[in-house]
Structure 1
Amino acid sequence: MELILRALLCNYFLAGIVSTYTLTDEKNLRTSLLTGYDKELRPGTDRTFPLSVQAAFFLFSINEFDLNTGKLSLTGLFKISWIDERLSWNPVMYNQTNATSFKQNKVWIPNFININPYEDIKGLGSDLISVRVSSTGHCDWFAIQGLEVICDADVTKFPFDSQYCTMKFFIWGYLPHEIDVQFNSSEAFLTLYQENGIWDITDSTSHTQLNFYGYEEIVIGLQLKRRTSYYIVFLMLPKIALTSLLGFVFLLPPESGERVGLSTTVLLSIVLYLTLIQDMLPESSEPSVSLIGYMLVSYVVSGAISVICVIFSLRFQSSCQKPVPGFIMSFVKFCRKREKSLNTVEIFDSKSLEMDENEDSVTWTEVGRLFDKTCFVISLIQLALTSTIFFSLAIS
């Protein structure tokens, strides 16, 4: 225990001795380093070797992703390190001054230029950011930045879509053999990331690549996956439940007089949903139109057909003096026999005998009821089939 206390005391006093430099010492150091310093010249005594630049990207937050305009707005930090031998010194000559800081406009920095900006082309950092320099000439530049880049969205599987967005940078004014950029990690660091309410980050990448002209690009890639819970609860389920009402319209008694009104109201509600989703999606059809758009259009078409079928059904069941056509009569008789064959118990009484005697007669009211049953079944099958196809294609 005594040895541990002695070691701690020795470290404490040594730290006090090492850190005894004053403001005057650091001022003299800065004056000496910047005298004759040309920030337009890149570091490196031997120009036959490229300057090694180490980089890492830390993502803080995703601020906005507008699918209509393709604008991705986020906040992140670049940690960039390099060796500038012109900024090295002997700490003994400056009372053990081991490190100092310079505004980034005072010393040379690798000028990262964003080459896929949403609006103006900007470089990293600002005059408020400093470069930390150690006595060995090691420079650390922590460039925090709000970035706005272009990301073309593929909304084919909306709201189950995933997007891959990239931020591309280029060190302007230097050839590939003059500066060599290397990332400390093949992925972006998410230790400081604040979760976004709409998008999840499933993967990330940070690397360099040569473009078509042979120049090196610095690329930060983010794989984004949409959070679907909100869209399922407040968009998909209400829309499917609303569309299912189209089939139940045919179960309303014709005497109620509400068939046309209900079917028209449901059709207008589906059109409203289509308008809301169109506002969320980009107008461009590249690479493909959203599947949910096709789904809603099919619902609109089925809604329009349902309104027409309701009108025909009411027409059938109204007082009509014209005889029932032969092909319709044959179909009704076939359905009548089919229904009888499914009954396992038959009651033989005077009423059933009368029905047997009149089984060859078919009225328009019976035609209308059979038409309603057929439309009801077809409507539910169409809804189930369309929804199943959409979910199978969107989730796959």
Structure 2
Amino acid sequence: MVPPVQSFWNPINITVTMNVLAILGVDEKAQTMTLFISQYLTWRIDGLHWSERDCGTKRVSVSRENLWIPDIHISEFMDEDNSPQNMHVFLYNTGLVFDSKSIRVVTSCQLDIYPFPFDVQNCSLTFRSYLHQDSEIKLIQGATSEETLEVSRKLIQTNGEWELVDIKVTPSVLKLNGGSYSEMKYYIVLKRQPMLYVVNLLIPSCFLITVDLFSFLLPPQSVDRASFKMTLILGYTVFLLIMNDLLPVSGQTTPLINVFFSISLALMVASLLETIFITNIQFTSSQYSTVPRWLSILVLRYLALAVCLPTQKKSNRITVSLQPPKELQIHNPISNSLVNSCNISEDKPPPDPHQHLLDELRKLSKDLIAIRLHMDNHFKGTKTSQEWYMIGIVVDRLLFAIYIIFILASFLAITCIWIWSDSL
């Protein structure tokens, strides 16, 4: 129970060395990391020594209950230590005590899951004493950071989806109101293996987005594009529900891949709504009112140029003249010709059947005039229909361009993040 020192004015120097044996897992929701490590502590008992020649050995195994053992713990520990306990320590003839034990460590760690699945986590393990201040116990670094990393990579047995990238060791002092405590911080850098998530999440999602992109090439007037897009949205939703367990969950940060999935689904829904709008224009645009001037200028003049659709095509479609020729606008030309033909034969008495035929032709002329007026009104409405149809084409091509920009930007972002994570 008493520290083995000749004078309490002199602190005990305890050398701390740690190696990682296995990376058991990382829980993003609980913000914890589970490791299996080996901890090595060495210190010296003042005044204790024996002769190896007289005793025949320079090292003996002593029960932990018979020696003073420092209370060195990990500050970030979040769970009960269920690892097997080592009941003995080694005592050397020079008074050196060597204590080694394996620990299953569940530590708290502030995980950054924003670049998932290309994330790199940096978690710390802080070794210090709870009871003894730095005037009583002083922690000293054992192996260097490079030696610790090299030995850990040789001893590591399993890492799952994580790869051990680096280990850094830094001595420090924790100052509190009651005093200061000597600490030894180990920073463990882990990198996630992203291939599983790239194959199961990113590639299928990119395939569905690409199929929806090429669906813009389907002619909406002859193919039911809306049903095709609705099938894609349904398939994409089922895909997200199935793969939801692979996505990390955290209340603090939303992963970038979740943003990618949300934007992809939003673009699919927008393309479906745009297809419904174009289909409605094709079949009911004749019932629409005249296109507002501001909408016509914004879409047909500026957005048309932005999507590489020349305004001449729009104006040609809308301002085409479908009025009947002037010679057809003479009032009742057919009846006039019939009257002239009838006047030629005035020297003969008109028979009754001829008079009846003339009346029928006059009625037919009135019907033709009515048909002509109806066609004039129809052609006047076609100008408005063409404007709405042209607006639909511009919107369709604009969404197609947004799709291409989104896919290219996503591809570049994923590639850059992947290259950055591999460079670490």
- Aligned pairs for 1:58-73 (under 5 A) are 58-73=19-34
From 64, 67, 79, give the equivalent of 1:104: 64
Q: CA deviation at 1:301?
A: 2.0
SS at 1:136's partner residue?
coil
Does residue 84 (structure 1) correspond to residue 42 (structure 2)? The answer is no
The 2-side partners of 1:372 and 1:118 are apart by: 55
For residues 316-374 of structure 1, what are the alpha-carbon distances to aligned partners after superposition, in whole Å with 9 as ceiling and x for unaligned?
2225433684565993998466579xxxxxxxxxxxxxxx877x975559535555444
2:329 counterpart residue number: none
After TM superposition, give the deviation of residue 300 of structure 1 in Å: 2.3
* Counterparts of 2:198 and 2:218, CA distance in 1: 29
Secondary structure at the counterpart of residue 170 of structure 2: strand
Can you list the C-alpha shifts for 1:204-255, whole angstroms capped at 9, x where unaligned? 1223311241222232210112222232233222212212233223222335
2:117 corresponds to 1:159: yes
Q: Report how far residue 156 of structure 1 moved.
A: 1.6
| Partner deviation per Cα, 1:241-291 (whole Å, 9 max, x = no partner) | 212233223222335654223222333444455554576323322xx4322
Amino acid at match of 2:275: V
Choose from 282, 294, 318 the match for 2:259.
294
Number of the residue aligned with 1:57: 18
CA contact (8 A) 2:77 2:106 kept: yes
Q: 1:114 to 1:378 in 2, by over 3 A?
A: closer
Q: What amino acid maps onto 2:110 in structure 1?
A: D
Match status 1:383 vs 2:407: yes
In structure 2, the partner of 1:312 is 277
AA in 2 matched with 1:158 = F
The alignment partner of 2:66 has SS state of coil
Which runs of structure 2 are paired with 1:128-207 in the superposition (5 Å)?
A: 128-187=86-145, 188=148, 189-190=151-152, 191-194=154-157, 196-207=159-170
Structure 1 residues 236 and 282: alpha-carbon distance in aligned structure 2, compared to 1, 3 A threshold = same
Provide the rounded CA distance (Å) in 2 between the counterparts of 1:271 and 1:222: 38
Q: Tell me: CA distance 1:375–1:135, structure 2 relative to 1, closer, same or farther (3 Å).
A: closer
Q: CA RMSD in A?
A: 3.4
- Report the equivalent of 2:251: 284
TM-aligned CA deviation for residue 91 of structure 1? 3.6
CA shift for structure 1 position 61:
0.8
Give the percent of matched residue pairs that are identical in Structure 1 and Structure 2.
20
- Taking the aligned partners of 1:175 and 1:145, their CA distance within structure 2 comes to 24
> CA separation in 2, counterparts of 1:258 and 1:317?
13
Instruction: Tell me the equivalent position of 2:364.
Output: none
CA 1:378–1:372 in structure 2 vs 1: closer, same or farther (change >3 Å)? same
Cα deviation for residue 389 of structure 1 reads 5.0
Alignment of 1:326-341 (within 5 A): 331=300, 335=309
3-state secondary structure, aligned to 1:247: helix
1:113-171 CA distances to partner (integer Å, 9 max, x unpaired)? Answer: 22212224x59x86434211122222111111111111121112112211111122322
Q: CA deviation at 1:63?
A: 0.7
Are the counterparts in 1 of residues 11 and 137 from structure 2 also a CA contact under 8 Å?
A: yes
Cα gap change, 1:129/1:255 in structure 2, threshold over 3 Å: closer, same or farther? Answer: farther
Name the amino acid aligned to 2:266: V
Kept after mapping to 2: 8 A contact 1:246/1:379: no
1:92–1:386 Cα change, 3 Å: closer
* In 2: Cα distance, 1:135 partner to 1:79 partner: 19
> Cα distance 1:230–1:111, how it changes in 2: closer, same or farther (>3 A)?
same
Distance 1:169-1:254 versus aligned 2 partners, 3 A rule: same
Distance 1:388 1:304 in 2: 24
The question of 1:41 aligning with 2:2 is answered yes
Q: Distance in 2 between matches of 1:257 and 1:157?
A: 40
Contact 1:61/1:194, CA 8 A, preserved across alignment: yes
Aligned AA (1:131)? V
Change (3 A) 1:269 1:117: farther
- 1:391/1:98 CA distance change after superposition, 3 Å: closer
The answer to whether the 8 A contact 2:126-2:183 is kept is yes
In the superposition, relative to structure 1, how do residues 315 and 85 fare at CA in structure 2: closer, same or farther (>3 Å)?
same
Which ranges of structure 1 fall in alignment gaps of 5 or more residues? 1-39, 341-355
For 1:265 and 1:217, how far apart are their aligned partners in 2? 60
- Contact 1:291 1:394 survives alignment (8 Å): no
Q: Given the superposition, is the C-alpha separation of residues 246 and 127 from structure 1 closer, same or farther in structure 2, using an over 3 Å criterion?
A: closer
Provide the aligned length of Structure 1 versus Structure 2: 338
Give the unaligned 5+ runs of structure 2. 315-319, 323-378
Q: Distance in 1 between matches of 2:13 and 2:310?
A: 87
TM-score relative to the length of structure 2: 0.69
The secondary structure found in structure 1 opposite 2:270 is helix
Q: 1:257 and 1:154, CA in 2 relative to 1: closer, same or farther beyond 3 A?
A: same
Query: SS where residue 65 of structure 2 aligns?
Result: coil
> 2 CA distance for matches of 1:48 and 1:374?
79
